[in-house]
Amino acid sequence: TNNKPGAASTTAYGVYGNMIAGGYFDVPGGGIGAEHGYLYNQTTGTWATYDHPGAVVTHLEGITGAGRSGEYNMVADWVTVDGVVHAGVLHVDALGIPTWYEINIPGGSLVSSNSAYGDTVVGIYLTPGSTTPNGYVATIASIYNPIRNTGTLTSSADNTAALSGGIGDDIVNSGTVKVSGNGGVGMRGETYGVLTNTGTVTSSGVAGAAVDLHGLYGTFLNYGTLQTTIESDAVRSGLDASGTVIVNMGIIDGRIAATAGLDKRFENSGWLGVSGNGPSITHLFGGTFVQTSAGTLSLRVTPGSNDFFGIAGVARLAGTLEVPFLTSTLSNSYTLLAATEGTTGGFETLTTPGLPTYVSAALAYSGTSVALNLTSQMARQAGLTANQSAVGGAVDLGFNSGILPNAATPGAAALNSLYSLSGSQLPAVLKGLSGEAYASEQSVLIGDGIYSRQAVMDRLRQGAYAGQAGAMGALAYGGPAALSYAGPEAAAQTAPTTALGALAYATKAPAVAPAPTTGGTTIWAQGFGGWTNLDGNGNASSVSESIGGIISGAD
């Protein structure tokens, strides 16, 4: 119970940390005023009464921190002796001294203040002759005085926080905070403190952190950017943290290490993950993790591993899951997230930048974990020939059955390299692996064999038929001479009758006898050349060849 001693009745309207704000009524004859405002400290058990000067009724609607330890703001309504209702804010400093701020709405006949946070007050008002309420938002800068950073703050000190608050201290960073010392912290919050970042906080020291949360019911609101190296944490909680709330509407680029403490809640409506191509990391959080439809969780696939989000609690999922692939050595399945008390909902969008277009990806939910399963679909690519599809189908089978992702499988490394290819590069490589080029090349080699056979045959004829008369003599010269002597011209009266004449007739040259030969070794040579074009189809490769050279011998 919360009863003020000596009061006829006590009402509580707001609780902030260990402080309760409300109103109470005195017993008849107990003093001026029907209702008084009060502030009760649960830790010390002390009561403080607050009446607006000249008011007969003072009503405190709620309470919130004023940015510094021991300072509070309470929205208030009060009634003066003339019956006029007033609205405003009561600010109480660390010494308990009150300052009243009245809110007047131009044209408003009745104004009420209902809630305050920071330097902002919201409420309603009526205009003369109307019973329809209108809402308003008012800014009173002097009621909120947190620890602020608007410039560039740099610290290389070890185990030191660049911005540090005590119990009840709020910290607002709209500038840049850079910490590099080992154990260095960018922003450190304590019990009831609210940390707000609209700027940039970076941490690069070993065991450092961009944000470190401690104490009871601390809050971190991120609208800006947190960025850390692998040695540091982006958001961390201490063992004394309890009831901590983390809300991200900006960018958190770094590891989450917030398992310590009880009853924490993390709501992601921004971007959460790790950028760059460094080694994989593991995020750890204890409590309830919620990703809204506006949020993106990014977990990378790196060579031999992947980023992982481990939650000791519940995960409520929505929004986008982004899985960047930083390697072409793929596995069939990756476990990306696990929650000990289960997952609800599901990611609405999946993106896989860096994954080949011929590999499909799908999410699998087990109730306590989320995995990404891959399926190779090389053979299904449009425009492939039968041979290319056959090779692609064999690779698909090896990958989808788990053979290729196993590094111990012979040839796995070579075939896994195929997944580094783009969709436009894949057909040519599958064609090269199909073997159809070897069949086409054999056709070319068989055709080119005529040049060596012809050279040897011509040399044999030259030796065997030299000096022969008539048609047989033409064989000694080979080629057109033989054809000329044996062709239709042989029946003509003008046809040659000797081998020498046949050569002259075929070449349109005077008949000259070959040089006489002598005994011993004869060295001979014959030139050759040609062009070949073989058309291809879906089963064989096209070939275009040019060849030329000299074949020589001695006998």
pLDDT averaged per 10 residues, the chain (length 555): 86 92 78 80 94 92 94 95 94 96 93 94 95 96 97 98 96 98 98 97 98 97 98 97 98 97 96 96 98 99 96 98 95 97 98 97 98 96 90 91 72 81 91 75 78 82 67 58 48 53 53 58 86 74 84 88
> In this predicted structure, what is the pLDDT of residue 510?
55
pTM: 0.79
Phi-psi region of 143 (alpha: psi -120 to 50; beta: other; left: phi over 0): alpha
> Which residues have CB under 8 Å from 495's CB, separation 6+?
485, 489, 505
DSSP assignment of 14-54: EEETTEEEEEEEEPTTSSS-SBEEEEEETTTTEEEEE--TT
> In this predicted structure, what is the pLDDT of residue 528?
85
**Distance spanning both ends of the chain, measured CA to CA:** 125
pLDDT in tens, 360-398: 999 999 999 999 999 999 999 999 988 889 999 999 998
Other residues' Cβ atoms within 10 Å of the Cβ of residue 366? 11
Q: Which of 109, 107, 119, 113 is nearest to 136 (CA)?
A: 113
What single DSSP character describes residue 189? E
> In this predicted structure, what is the pLDDT of residue 21?
95
> In this predicted structure, what is the pLDDT of residue 496?
56
> In this predicted structure, what is the pLDDT of residue 480?
46
How far apart are alpha carbons 438 and 449 in whole angstroms?
16
What residue segments make up the domains of the chain, in order of their start? 7-143, 147-349, 380-434
Q: Which of 354, 359, 231, 238 is nearest to 299 (CA)?
A: 354
How far apart are alpha carbons 206 and 233 in whole angstroms?
9
Please state at what angle helix 386-400 crosses helix 426-434, rounded to 10 degrees: 100
> Which residues have CB under 8 Å from 366's CB, separation 6+?
none
How far apart are alpha carbons 305 and 278 in whole angstroms?
11
> In this predicted structure, what is the pLDDT of residue 555?
84
> In this predicted structure, what is the pLDDT of residue 93?
96
pLDDT in tens, 252-278: 999 999 999 889 999 999 999 999 999
Residue 208 tokens, joined: 């450092």
> In this predicted structure, what is the pLDDT of residue 534?
76
Mean pLDDT for the chain overall: 88
Q: Which of 206, 210, 162 is nearest to 181 (CA)?
A: 206
CATH number of 7-143: 2.130.10.150
